[in-house]
Amino acid sequence: MVGLTSEEFIMKKISATLSRLIREEEGAAATEYAILVALIAAAVAAAVTIFDIQGIYTTMRARVVTAMG
């Protein structure tokens, strides 16, 4: 680019690259899926804590073993 200093040229290249990345939708979809997976993981962790899943499993297993004799 004629007439630009090296700093201006670098800033133009960075600006163009950022603009291209913002316009791309594929990257946004991957980010959305990552956020969705993180929310699901947090919900599962909360459910295990709130509902004491391990305690329920242990109790049900003991009942099945007792029932089977």
pLDDT for residue 10 = 83
In a domain, 59, yes or no: yes
- Whether residue 51 lies inside any domain: the answer is yes
In angstroms, rounded to a whole number, what is the distance separating the alpha carbons of residues 35 and 13? 29
- Residue 10 falls within a domain, yes or no? yes
Query: Is the pLDDT at 8 greater than 90, yes or no?
Result: no
Which residue, among 14, 23, 16, has the nearest Cα to 6 in the 3D structure?
14
DSSP state of 25: S
pLDDT higher at 60 or 69 = 60
**Which has the higher per-residue pLDDT, 55 or 29?**
55
**What is the average pLDDT across 45-65?**
88
d(CA 38, CA 32): 10
Residue 1 counted as domain residue: no
Q: What is the pLDDT of residues 24-50, one digit of tens each?
A: 666 667 778 888 999 999 998 888 888
- Overall domain count for the chain: 1
Domain that holds residue 33: 6-68
- Does any domain span residue 34? yes
In a domain, 39, yes or no: yes
Distance CA 15, CA 23 (A): 12
